Structure 1
Amino acid sequence: MKIEQLIKSTWNSCKKQLTLLGGILLIAGTSCNKYLDIVPDNIAVIDNAFTMRTEAEKYLFTCYSFLPRNGDPAYNIGLLGGDEIWLPRNPRDLTAYAWGTLNTSGIATGGQNAAEPKLDAWRGWWQGGGPDDRYGLWKAIRNCNIFLENVSNTSKVRDLRLDERTRWLAEVKFLKAYYHYYLLRMYGPIPLVDQNIDISAPESEVRIKRKPFDECVAYITGLLDEAAPNLPLLISDRTTELGRITRPIALAIKAKLWLLAASPLFNGNPDYASFKDHDGVALFPATYDATKWDKAAQYTKTAIDVAEEAGHKLHQFLGTSFQLSETTLQQLRIRTAMTERWSLEHVWANPNSRAGFDMQARAMPRLAGSESSGQARMQFAAPLKIVEMFYSKNGVPINEDKLIDFSNRYTTRLAVSSERFNIKPGYETARMNFDREPRFYAFLSFDGGIYYKYDSPGNSDENSWVVEGKYTQASGATDALGFLNETGYFVKKLVDWNATHTNSNQGINYRDYPWPEIRLPDLYLMYAEALNESQGPIGDVLIYVDKVRSRAGLEGVVASWSKYSSNPSKYTTKDGMREIIHQERGIELSFEGQRFWDLRRWKKAAESLNQAITGWSVYQDKTADYYRVRTIFTQNFVAPRDYLWPIRTDDIRINPNLVQNPGW
């Protein structure tokens, strides 16, 4: 795609150009004697970047190049920074060890600190405690401001058509808004950098302050409102422009912004009631404002309507010539919603970050004994609490199903022939792995589980790959390099079903896909959540939750709870429906990095992230020994401190107008 090619081919040259235009924008600067890197007073350099369309286009894609690389596990904060995916604690594989700093000694294990914050988007330092030129979001905002200032001047870039100029300005306004939103979600109140500070500005203007949260929301909303009308409804040139920002994307981010603003973390949170800047200005709203949920519902419904007008719809599997059971076809409908390139379900797919080998090999179990462990590293493990989150086959929580008893879920039993498309017949595996909803088998695999993919033996799901996960088996935890799974549950969702073994079965060919930043089910469940908080469990709440459940092969909420739940009236109250929506989001959006942020905005992180990470005893080779629950790690989330990122201590010292987040 053109956007990917331009980002890759122009990044090095643009980086040199950006160096001439100024360093990374840090609110507190990069050294003790500078509060801010200022664009040099070199008009010739700036003008050169905006003399011709081709040069301006390079700068446009430089602004795009700072989009988060969520398709790379090392950069997706939500994927490995919470409790949804766990990594081996002591892998010898150096690449996995670098990721281990994120998971086992970083955010997930309580290793965050203010002296050297991990995953620091404020300064632009990321993995390994060093600067990352592609993740300084204040630098990104700085570049957006330079672009907007110059391209808004019609005397510059004279060969740029008016329609292109209008669209490019809208795209960069969106990017500027998005980078502010991303920082707001991480840090809470932030400075608002509407224009770059002039080199001659006095020190008082350079030492900028954080703005109140609601002011930040209003500012970002304004940028998105300016951008949206001038963005295309859809990408018509799918050969060269896929990945460019569209109107549905802008409206979806506006909806996410207001869902964030309406949620308990930022809407009258008493933990932040006394948090003020040095001038006594309150940085968080002191009282709860119910109208924010009204706006969140309104904006999300608008985003849905415009997305559907643009042709976005829930993904359906395109089909195959192989003879497959309905069970397997249902799983493929669910699995490919994540991994199908440019699926119509993907309101925003980001080609700046593709889920390729690094993402998929870390999730893939070894299926063949001859397979190189480096090709199927199987290090992404789902803890038991995540496994238990998925519904029963009746579409209700396993602790509510009145027809199926899961109280003995840690015992084992043999699979029978009628279960052969999910579990190998005659295989003894955990009771918990039986009688679960289709998403359980589509998103997860486990000891004894069927792992259907394109090259399954016999081109059929009657003779498919099987995961054998005990210690001495192919997917067991025996690898000396740390290519192992700590819990016994493998994340199938992230692996495209087109992955194929080589002829010798020693390697695997993975087909990458642009990371889906926003899928349509996310918007459906956002709307249901906001509307439920605003008006209670009225018609549209159930309708939009049921849209997601229907694609997942489940009955609607009313039917499922009425027939199968021990709490049949749960959906009739706001509190009960809230619980249902939260669990539905957890399941449908699992292993995408969404849970990490949802737990925070719901103020549920202190509850969930102080539970132990558990799994099976994967270092055992006998069934009775393997299926014993083992505590892998006990997380320690400190509230309210850990809900927000710390600003680096040096940055606070350099710019004394900044105030540190509570608890840091």
Structure 2
Amino acid sequence: MTLHKIYWRPLLAGLVTATCFITACKKDFLDQKTLSAIDEAAVFQDSTRSLGMINNLYSNLGISFNPRRFNNTGLDAACDESEPLSDPTFYTYKISSGGINPNNADKGLWSTTFGMVRAANIFLKNKDSIPVSNATRDYWTGQVRFFRAWYLFTLLKHYGGIPLIGDQVFGDKEKIDVPRSSFETCIKYLTDELDAAAATLPASYRSGDANQLRITKGSALAVKARMLLYAASPLFNSGPRADDPEHLLTFPGADPERWKQASDAAKAVINLGVYSLYTASSTPLYTLFLQNTPQPEHVLVYWQPAVTSNNFYIENSANPTSRGGMNGWQGVKYFPTQELVDEFEMINGLRITDPASGYPGVGNNMYKNRDPRLTYTVNYNGSIRNLGSFGDQPVNTYTGVIPTGNAAATSASLDGIYTPTGTLTGYFRYKMCNGAVGELYRPWVVMRYAEVLLNAAEATNEYYGATTEVYDWLKMIRSRAGITAGTNGLYGLKAGMSKEEMREAIWHERRVELAFEEHRFWDVRRWKIAPQTENAETHGMEITRAANGSFSYRVIVIRKHKFTDAMYFWPIPQSEITKSPSLQQNPGY
């Protein structure tokens, strides 16, 4: 679906029932065939069909976050967080190889998000016709304005300044050729929209409320805080670019006050007092993502269909073959890198590069006494996972001499490095996966409170320095993770850090806490460190078992990635440029 078509094709969204939100109906809401029987006016004279339009806007909430977005790989497989299969047809492989151009660029995000914007605008055009109370209409309108802003922000982080059409709905035969707005104009528009949405949404819902799976005031304010954090970051806030005279990609000038705006926005979410870190389990970071009811850490969540066919995708893409991953690499698509594993400090909170940390170096004990988040995030050699009738057994990722015996002993033949169905890097992703063999329903946690705290910490540090507040937010996250407090109660953090030292600590904390949650890809770009992190080799861990059962270890190179300045932003698909010549292409493409 092109930018041209999405504004004039007839809309089916109103035909969806209110239950479609819970079942996350995947029907084509812009389909012409079904609409032939019911016109737009009839849709908005029926409150149930009108609500169905809103429910449809939820269905693509996680389009950017989606872990099966590209051949069952998300954007974590397009940066130094994980390594996809060495398959040049994979879009994530093309990204990290520098092979994306306007002619092969992904079109799905552009067409889907603008389709959602069109659906929102049709709702707003007809909202006064819906037979509901004014209070209900305002509540519904707030949700719709939130989603319009959410989808436009999703476009903004991919492409920079985008065409802003406001409330306009283009007619069937109307030519669409809308130029891109400046980055600054887009930020101002989206800020106003999210503020307007927040004003009509409840701060929270009571348990059992029929609406408790819907967005809240905190959802809108948290998205605004994330957006303003991005806007304050060096990629956008370092002054104009010579190749961008219309300021589609940056503000016209740098302004440190933007960090204060981002800090204030994140603090506004914290000050709502409705969120807290999830600690309802002895292994909270594992179970948080498997909860099928709203949790205090949930800020923005997509409640996908509670059926196996729609929920086993992470396991199919990430599980060791012995633990239910699809047979062969046709199922297991991506593998954590050594770079990610090395970010996890020791349980005392000290980095493994710190001589005082107690890290023993590469060898038999290199995964012991580490930050507990490592065990919840990555399956390494010796990680314990359920193996059906064999119970809890180690995941074997080694090569070399594989012993004979039952599946618990021989799983290295399935999962080991260099085997046809095994790991590429020596690791498997574990975060968000069901620990047992089989399926367990869980939602997509698109935003959570830990991110809000880290957003607040980053923006506050950049404007005010390493304040007590900044320390407290990091200590909360590290305490929940299971890092020991230490005699000074700083959970391994250095006392009296400078702004620069705290910046590095926050960047590290984001990488560890938010792994596989679609942050690393965007963080290294907005921080403008991608030439260092993305134009580099990725590594894995080769573990070789000898006949006597001893192991030897070697860090290996997986692949050299490529990054150019053009890759800070995505190319607009050439098909869209052809249909709408006013859509100026991004520099370098």
Q: Same fold (TM over 0.5)?
A: yes
Unaligned runs of 5+ in 2: 1-16, 403-409
Q: 2: distance between equivalents of 1:262 and 1:231?
A: 26
Answering whether residue 149 of structure 2 is matched by residue 177 of structure 1, we say yes
TM-score by length of 2: 0.85
Q: Residue 325 of structure 2 contacts residue 332 of structure 2 at CA under 8 Å; is this kept in 1?
A: no
* Structure 2 counterpart of 1:118, one-letter code: D
Q: Residue 251 of structure 1 contacts residue 303 of structure 1 at CA under 8 Å; is this kept in 2?
A: yes
Q: Residue 319 of structure 2 contacts residue 428 of structure 2 at CA under 8 Å; is this kept in 1?
A: yes
Q: Alpha-carbon deviation of 1:120?
A: 4.6
Q: 1: distance between equivalents of 2:485 and 2:183?
A: 38
Partner of 2:579: 654
Partner of 1:474: 411
Unaligned runs of 5+ in 1: 22-41, 91-96, 125-135, 319-328, 414-430, 458-463, 500-507
Q: 2: distance between equivalents of 1:296 and 1:606?
A: 25
**Aligned-partner SS, 2:538:** strand
The alpha-carbon distance between structure 1 residues 385 and 375, as it changes in their structure 2 partners (threshold 3 A), is closer
**Aligned-partner SS, 1:248:** helix
**Aligned-partner SS, 1:432:** coil
Answering whether residue 302 of structure 2 is matched by residue 350 of structure 1, we say yes
Answering whether residue 450 of structure 2 is matched by residue 521 of structure 1, we say yes
Answering whether residue 516 of structure 2 is matched by residue 591 of structure 1, we say yes
Partner of 1:504: none
Q: Alpha-carbon deviation of 1:58?
A: 1.6
Partner of 1:326: none
Partner of 2:226: 256
Which residue, 115, 118, 121 being the options, matches 1:139?
Answer: 115
Partner of 2:245: 276
The alpha-carbon distance between structure 1 residues 467 and 58, as it changes in their structure 2 partners (threshold 3 A), is same
**Aligned-partner SS, 1:86:** strand
Answering whether residue 442 of structure 2 is matched by residue 448 of structure 1, we say no
**Aligned-partner SS, 1:629:** strand
Partner of 1:213: 183
The alpha-carbon distance between structure 1 residues 19 and 276, as it changes in their structure 2 partners (threshold 3 A), is farther
Q: 2: distance between equivalents of 1:112 and 1:4?
A: 39
Partner of 2:559: 633
Partner of 2:77: 80
**Further displaced range: 353-362 or 292-301:** 353-362
Which residue, 473, 477, 482 being the options, matches 1:544?
Answer: 473
Q: 2: distance between equivalents of 1:282 and 1:589?
A: 29
The alpha-carbon distance between structure 1 residues 191 and 292, as it changes in their structure 2 partners (threshold 3 A), is same
**Further displaced range: 45-54 or 649-658:** 649-658
Answering whether residue 57 of structure 2 is matched by residue 63 of structure 1, we say yes
Q: Alpha-carbon deviation of 1:375?
A: 12
**Further displaced range: 215-224 or 5-14:** 5-14
The alpha-carbon distance between structure 1 residues 337 and 495, as it changes in their structure 2 partners (threshold 3 A), is same
The alpha-carbon distance between structure 1 residues 437 and 13, as it changes in their structure 2 partners (threshold 3 A), is closer
Q: 2: distance between equivalents of 1:4 and 1:81?
A: 36
Which aligned runs of 4 or more in structure 1 are off by greater than 6 angstroms? 452-456, 478-481, 618-626
1:205-354 matched pairs, under 5 angstroms: 206-236=176-206, 238=208, 240-269=210-239, 272-277=241-246, 284-306=250-272, 308=273, 310=274, 312-318=275-281, 329=282, 332-341=283-292, 342-352=294-304
The alpha-carbon distance between structure 1 residues 580 and 556, as it changes in their structure 2 partners (threshold 3 A), is farther
Q: Residue 348 of structure 2 contacts residue 492 of structure 2 at CA under 8 Å; is this kept in 1?
A: yes
The alpha-carbon distance between structure 1 residues 170 and 188, as it changes in their structure 2 partners (threshold 3 A), is same
Q: Residue 278 of structure 2 contacts residue 295 of structure 2 at CA under 8 Å; is this kept in 1?
A: yes
Q: Residue 63 of structure 1 contacts residue 140 of structure 1 at CA under 8 Å; is this kept in 2?
A: yes
Which residue, 340, 353, 356 being the options, matches 1:399?
Answer: 353
The alpha-carbon distance between structure 1 residues 283 and 440, as it changes in their structure 2 partners (threshold 3 A), is closer
Q: Residue 487 of structure 1 contacts residue 618 of structure 1 at CA under 8 Å; is this kept in 2?
A: no
Q: Alpha-carbon deviation of 1:583?
A: 0.1
Which residue, 27, 31, 35 being the options, matches 1:12?
Answer: 27
Q: Residue 22 of structure 2 contacts residue 303 of structure 2 at CA under 8 Å; is this kept in 1?
A: no
Q: 2: distance between equivalents of 1:453 and 1:163?
A: 53
The alpha-carbon distance between structure 1 residues 564 and 544, as it changes in their structure 2 partners (threshold 3 A), is closer
Q: Residue 75 of structure 2 contacts residue 92 of structure 2 at CA under 8 Å; is this kept in 1?
A: no
Partner of 1:93: none
Q: 2: distance between equivalents of 1:453 and 1:185?
A: 41
Q: 2: distance between equivalents of 1:198 and 1:379?
A: 41
Q: 2: distance between equivalents of 1:360 and 1:539?
A: 40
Q: 2: distance between equivalents of 1:614 and 1:390?
A: 15
Answering whether residue 91 of structure 2 is matched by residue 102 of structure 1, we say yes
Q: 1: distance between equivalents of 2:256 and 2:423?
A: 44
Q: 2: distance between equivalents of 1:391 and 1:520?
A: 22
Q: 2: distance between equivalents of 1:251 and 1:655?
A: 33
For 1:188-208, what per-residue CA distance to the aligned partner results, in whole angstroms no more than 9, with x for missing partners?
1111121225439986xx321
Partner of 1:164: 136
* Structure 1 counterpart of 2:424, one-letter code: E
Q: Alpha-carbon deviation of 1:187?
A: 0.6
**Aligned-partner SS, 1:627:** strand
**Aligned-partner SS, 2:90:** helix
For 1:375-424, what per-residue CA distance to the aligned partner results, in whole angstroms no more than 9, with x for missing partners?
99554411111110111222021112425255xx33x23xxxxxxxxxxx
Q: Residue 418 of structure 2 contacts residue 424 of structure 2 at CA under 8 Å; is this kept in 1?
A: no
Q: 2: distance between equivalents of 1:558 and 1:292?
A: 37
Q: 2: distance between equivalents of 1:554 and 1:59?
A: 45
Answering whether residue 46 of structure 2 is matched by residue 52 of structure 1, we say yes
Q: 2: distance between equivalents of 1:290 and 1:54?
A: 47
**Aligned-partner SS, 1:628:** strand
Q: CA RMSD in A?
A: 3.3
Aligned identity (percent) is 27
Q: 1: distance between equivalents of 2:561 and 2:21?
A: 42
Q: Residue 189 of structure 1 contacts residue 212 of structure 1 at CA under 8 Å; is this kept in 2?
A: yes
For 1:144-166, what per-residue CA distance to the aligned partner results, in whole angstroms no more than 9, with x for missing partners?
00001101x2xx122x2222211
Answering whether residue 124 of structure 2 is matched by residue 148 of structure 1, we say yes
**Further displaced range: 286-295 or 619-628:** 619-628
For 1:564-618, what per-residue CA distance to the aligned partner results, in whole angstroms no more than 9, with x for missing partners?
78xx56x520000000000011001112221111111111112111121111237
Q: 2: distance between equivalents of 1:558 and 1:144?
A: 54
The alpha-carbon distance between structure 1 residues 541 and 267, as it changes in their structure 2 partners (threshold 3 A), is same
Q: Alpha-carbon deviation of 1:357?
A: 0.9
**Aligned-partner SS, 1:193:** coil
Partner of 1:605: 530
Q: Alpha-carbon deviation of 1:537?
A: 0.4
Partner of 2:8: none
* Structure 1 counterpart of 2:366, one-letter code: M
Q: 2: distance between equivalents of 1:72 and 1:477?
A: 21
Q: 2: distance between equivalents of 1:387 and 1:365?
A: 17
Q: Residue 56 of structure 1 contacts residue 157 of structure 1 at CA under 8 Å; is this kept in 2?
A: yes
Q: Alpha-carbon deviation of 1:547?
A: 0.6
The alpha-carbon distance between structure 1 residues 375 and 606, as it changes in their structure 2 partners (threshold 3 A), is closer
Q: Alpha-carbon deviation of 1:629?
A: 2.1
Q: Residue 82 of structure 1 contacts residue 596 of structure 1 at CA under 8 Å; is this kept in 2?
A: yes
Partner of 1:483: 421
Q: 2: distance between equivalents of 1:9 and 1:360?
A: 20
* Structure 2 counterpart of 1:161, one-letter code: S
Q: 2: distance between equivalents of 1:217 and 1:599?
A: 20
Q: 1: distance between equivalents of 2:250 and 2:348?
A: 43
* Structure 2 counterpart of 1:189, one-letter code: G
